[in-house]
């Protein structure tokens, strides 16, 4: 039987958390921003293929839910800091990895 290569280079698969469902292996965040910045936020985060999934919870209020894949939290936090320097971005909930 042929084994697959690790699809996440630099991540030791033996350290992956035990999870029965895929969403249990994500960090869950909520952000709020001005409505006119919502599409810019979604566009930049979803461009990082495989890092996170963005769901617009309330477009009128500018609230988005972001689910970050396990192992990509640092990359995600760096991107959010860059975006936060471009427009007002408030983290409503989510873990702090800094």
CATH assignment at residue 49: 3.30.70
Domain presence at residue 46: yes
Among 65, 18, 10, 20, residue whose Cα is nearest residue 41: 65
33-73 tens-digit pLDDT? 999 999 999 999 888 888 888 999 999 999 999 998 888 88
Q: How many domains does the chain have?
A: 1
Domain presence at residue 59: yes
- What's the rounded Cα separation, in Å, for the pair 50 and 68? 9
Range of the domain at 37: 23-86
This prediction's pTM: 0.69
Q: How far apart are the first and last CA of the chain?
A: 41
Domain presence at residue 58: yes
Domain presence at residue 67: yes
Domain presence at residue 50: yes
The one-character DSSP state at 75 is H
* Rg of the chain (C-alpha set): 15
Domain presence at residue 68: yes
Domain presence at residue 91: no
């Amino acid at each position: 039987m042929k084994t697959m290569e690790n699809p996440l280079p630099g991540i030791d698969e033996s350290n992956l958390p035990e999870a029965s469902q895929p969403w249990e292996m994500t960090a869950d965040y909520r952000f709020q921003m001005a409505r006119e910045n919502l599409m810019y936020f979604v566009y930049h985060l979803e461009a990082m293929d495989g890092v996170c999934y963005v769901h617009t919870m309330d477009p009128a209020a500018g609230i988005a839910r972001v689910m970050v894949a396990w192992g990509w939290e640092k990359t995600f936090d760096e991107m959010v800091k860059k975006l936060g320097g471009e427009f007002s971005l408030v983290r409503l909930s989510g873990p702090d990895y800094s």
